[in-house]
Amino acid sequence: MARIVLIGAGEDLLEALLKALEARGVARDAVRVPGASDPMFDDESVSGPPSRELRAWLDRVRPEDLHDAEIAVVVGAAERAVQLAPIAREAEVILVDATGGGFSNGGTLVFPGLTTEVLAEVELGDWLALPQPGTAGLLMALAPIQELSPLVRVVVTVLRPASVRGGRAIEELSGQAVERLGGRALEPEQRGRVLAFGLRPVLASESDGSNPAATMAAETRILLGTAAPLVSASIIDAGVFAGIVLAVHLETERPLDINEVAGALARTAGIRLAGQVPLGGGDEEEGVIAMLADPAPGPVEVMGSLALHVAGLETDLDLPAGLRFFLVFDDRLRGLVVPLADLLERLLGRDD
CATH no. for residue 144? 3.30.360.10
H-assigned helices in 38-188: 52-60, 78-91, 102-105, 116-120, 133-148, 167-181
- Based on the fold, state whether residues 62 and 210 are members of the same structural domain: no
Do both 140 and 67 map to the same domain? Answer: no
Regarding whether 305 and 195 lie in a shared domain, the answer is yes
CA distances from 288 to 79, 297, 333, 352 (A): 38, 11, 16, 37
For 351, counting Cβ atoms within 10 Å of its Cβ (0-12 exposed, 13-18 middle, 19+ buried), the class is: exposed
Query: Do 79 and 203 reside in the same domain of the chain?
Result: no
> Please, are residues 77 and 46 in contact by the beta-carbon 8 Å criterion?
yes
Q: Are 167 and 242 in contact (CB under 8 A)?
A: no
Q: Are residues 85 and 190 in the same domain?
A: no
Q: What are the two backbone dihedrals, phi and then psi, of residue 166, each rounded to the nearest 5 degrees?
A: 100, 175
Counted domains in the chain: 2
Domain range enclosing 36: 4-131+338-348
In terms of domains, do 78 and 183 share one?
Answer: no
Q: Does residue 187 share a domain with residue 124?
A: no
Residue 298 shares a structural domain with residue 283: yes
The side-by-side arrangement of strands in the sheet containing 244-252 is 199-201, 230-238, 151-160, 244-252, 322-329, 308-315, 271-273
* Beta-bridge mates of residue 315: 323
Residues 125 and 235 in one domain: no
Based on the domain organization, do 210 and 296 belong to the same domain? yes
pLDDT in tens, the chain (352 residues): 568 988 887 778 889 999 999 999 999 888 887 754 555 555 544 444 455 555 555 555 666 777 678 999 998 878 888 888 998 999 999 999 999 999 999 999 999 988 888 999 999 999 999 999 999 999 999 999 999 999 999 999 999 988 887 777 777 777 777 777 776 766 656 555 656 778 889 988 766 678 999 999 999 999 998 667 899 999 999 888 889 999 999 999 999 999 999 999 999 999 999 887 665 444 455 556 666 677 888 888 888 999 999 999 999 989 989 999 999 999 999 999 999 999 999 999 865 5
Same-domain status, 37 and 167: no
- CATH number for 84: 3.40.50.720
pTM: 0.87
Do 304 and 316 have their domain in common? yes
